[in-house]
Every structure is written in structure tokens, then in C-alpha cells.
Amino acid sequence: MKFIVSSSYLLKQLSAINGVITTNPVVPILENFLFEINEGNLTVTASDLQTSMITELQVEAKDNGSIAVPAKILLETLKNLPEQPVTFSIDEESYSIEISSDNGRYKLSGENATDFPKVPAVADGYSVDMSSDVLATAIANSIFATSNDELRPAMTGVYLKLDDKSATFVATDGHRLIRYRRVDIAGDMDHSMIIPRKALTLLRSTIPSENTNVSVEFNAANAFFSFGNIKMICRLIDERFPDYENVIPVDNENNMVIDRQEFLSSLKRIAIYANKTTHQVRLKITGSELMISAEDLDFSNEANERLSCEHEGEDIEIGFNAKFLIEMLSNLESDKLMMKLQAANKAGLIIPEEKDDNEDLLMLVMPVMLNNYV
């Protein structure tokens, strides 16, 4: 089996799907790309059993065939070659691969393609289309709040609920919760699924910068994303997602409106002086003034800053984990935000003041108990 392809074109396509390959896979063959040639069309698959990514490209080939090619050595070779046609000559009996370029010849040993795990098909599934811009925004607005706790697998992914009016993306790690709703995506029936964080991270890095249509098909076990010449299939998390609607408070009447960038910059400075374990910062709202303070008693470090804000409600003092606040505010684009509070021991809500007509974003963050310093 022999085929010719542009080195940079092949490198670009392989780099798009390479992120799925892990360093110590469950099955050693998953350190390889699966190359399949059919009538001049090269299909390349990468997989870690949970997630598979596939790309297709045109090559010059007279024969059909397949082989598993070591991913790392192939990528390193292509990265260091100048743009030129390269010829792959494959012996399907010994699984040896020879790559010929203007610079020289490189031999490596592949593996039997039949040992590569089969990619699941989404049969009897449902489908929905969405634009890549909308999907990328939804992922960016939710993925950072997923949990790393493998004992609570439902929270290690993003929950997607589709109905005939909207799509709702929800992520939580138990300390904060993000609910991002789009009214420009809708399903024909009510469906819900939990998409693993790794699959969404790969999607976000692979989605092209120019806006394109993403076709999403899914059944009870798998989701299938398709855009351009890239496909991704991921196994869904088969767990029950927490009842997030009941956690969101409806009676937070203590409202503060503040400039997001000023608030964020202040938090970043004050957080330097916070306790390195709790990252606790204290927010004290008095009239139209917000005082942000932190201290680390172990090192006698302390800092405070005053900011002006618009405030409706009683004066309040509440503590939060600065890392959570900084990450949440960094993911907002709105110039101003509203913080809705109730009491020092109740969850606070962060809502952007400006947003797209098609979106609705709500961020919830749990408080941390304040130390009784003055």
C-alpha cells in the first residue's frame, strides 16, 4: 500500500485530533493513529476508548488498505519537515512503514489495523444543529466549573438539557454552579445528557475560528459531533446530574452592580494576601461602597481596597473563595455585573448586565465562613 500527501496538510489534520491520545492508554495500540485508505480518501482515527476523533483528507493512492501508525514519532517527523509531498510505503504483512521525503527516508513499525478498537456508531439517535460560535461560547462559559472529583462522575462533565425552546448547559463542582441557556438552539423533543469534560475541551480546541455548522447526534450512550472534515464521538456519562434548579436561590434581594474589570483587578491584587489554603476574601458592602479585604494570619499579611458600586438592600458582609470569583469574572465579557446576595451563609449569584439576546447566563457561588477579625 502506498500513498502521497502534503506534509503540512497531513500535520495540520493529525494535530487537530492528536489531543485525544493519552500517554499511557489502557490498550497499547491506542498510542497509534488508525490510517484507512479507500479510493484516495484517507481516514485517520485517534481514540482513548472514551472519546474518538476522526479526520478525512484526500491523498494520491492507487490501493486501499489500513494500518496503525505510531502517533508520537509520526507527528515529530512531520513537525520537523519543511512543506513537501511525502510518500508512505506500507508493507501490510510486516506492518513496516517507510516515509520518503526530499530530505531522506524514515522507517518505523506500525501495527495491525484490525486490533484498533471499533468506533461506536450513533444509531437510532436524535440530532440538533448549532453554530460553532454558539457551541464554543457555551463550552467556555461552563467547562471551568466542572469537578475533578472522580467519586462524583456526574459533576465531571457538562449537563446539556434540550427542549423545544432552548438548550441549557450546566456545570457544578459543589462550590459553584454555572447555568448557561441559549434560545437559538432547540431540540424537537426533551433530551438531556452529560458530556465529559475531556471531550468538550477537545471540541473547543478543534472548532474552527470561522463560524461553521456543527451537527450533533446522540443516543443514550454516545454523542457524535461533526463539523468540516472532523468528527468526534464521545461516550456520555451515565449518571444522574444533581437537581440544580433547587439550589439556585430566588429571594436574593440584596443587589450590587459593579464594573467587572475593576472588581476583577481588585480581587486579583487582594487575593495575593489571602490565606493560601482557603483563598478567603471578605466583601463588605456599605451603601454605595464595596470594601474588599483579605488577611493571612500565619504570615501577618493583609490588604484591603475600596470600590464604588450601585447597591440596593441592606449592608452585608460575606466571604468567598477568591480563586472561584476570579475564574468566574474572567469568563464574563460584560462590562458590568450584578451580584445578588441574601446573607453571609447563603449562595451568591453573579449575573452579567449586558448579554446577547439569545443567551441567559447565571453563576452561583457558595460563601466561605468568615473569620471574626475586624
Tens of pLDDT, residues 249-306: 998 999 999 999 999 999 999 999 999 999 999 999 999 999 999 999 889 999 999 9
Rounded CA-CA distance 367/347 in Å is 6
How confident is the model over 72-94, as a mean pLDDT? 95
pLDDT attached to residue 240? 95
Residue 286 C-alpha cell reads as 456599605
- pLDDT over 90 for what percent of the chain? 87
Condensed to tens digits (0 to 9), the pLDDT of residues 242-252 reads: 999 999 999 89
* Cα dist from 365 to 30, 295, 309, whole Å: 39, 21, 20
CATH topology assigned to domain 126-246:
DNA Polymerase III; Chain A, domain 2 (3.10.150)
Q: Which CATH class is domain 254-365?
A: alpha beta
pLDDT attached to residue 372? 59
Residue 208 pLDDT class (50, 70, 90 cuts) = confident
Residue 371 pLDDT class (50, 70, 90 cuts) = low
In contact, 68 and 28? CB cutoff 8 Å: no
The domain limits of the chain are 2-115, 126-246, 254-365
**Residue 109 neighbours by CB distance under 10 Å:** 12
pLDDT attached to residue 26? 87
* Cα dist from 357 to 45, 139, 210, whole Å: 39, 18, 21
In contact, 303 and 293? CB cutoff 8 Å: yes
Beta strands in 32-175, from DSSP E residues, in sequence order = 32-38, 41-47, 51-58, 60-61, 65-70, 85-91, 96-100, 105-109, 126-131, 157-162, 167-172
**Residue 213 neighbours by CB distance under 10 Å:** 12
pLDDT of 350 above 90: yes
pLDDT attached to residue 373? 46
pLDDT of 70 above 90: yes
Taking the CA atoms of 165, 171, 177 and 180 in sequence, report the sign of the dihedral they define: negative
In contact, 310 and 258? CB cutoff 8 Å: yes
- When the pLDDT of each residue in the chain is averaged and rounded to a whole number, the result is 93
pLDDT attached to residue 186? 83
pLDDT of 95 above 90: yes
The amino acid at residue 318 is: I
Condensed to tens digits (0 to 9), the pLDDT of residues 127-168 reads: 899 999 999 999 999 999 999 999 999 999 999 999 989 999
How confident is the model over 12-40, as a mean pLDDT? 94
Residue 185 pLDDT class (50, 70, 90 cuts) = confident
pLDDT of 72 above 90: yes
How confident is the model over 230-241, as a mean pLDDT? 96
Architecture of domain 2-115: Roll (3.10)
Rounded CA-CA distance 270/303 in Å is 6
pLDDT of 374 above 70: no
- pLDDT over 70 for what percent of the chain? 99
Closest listed residue to residue 344, CA positions, set 294, 292, 284, 290: 284
> How far is residue 209 CA from its own chain's centroid?
16
Domains 126-246 and 254-365 share a fold: yes
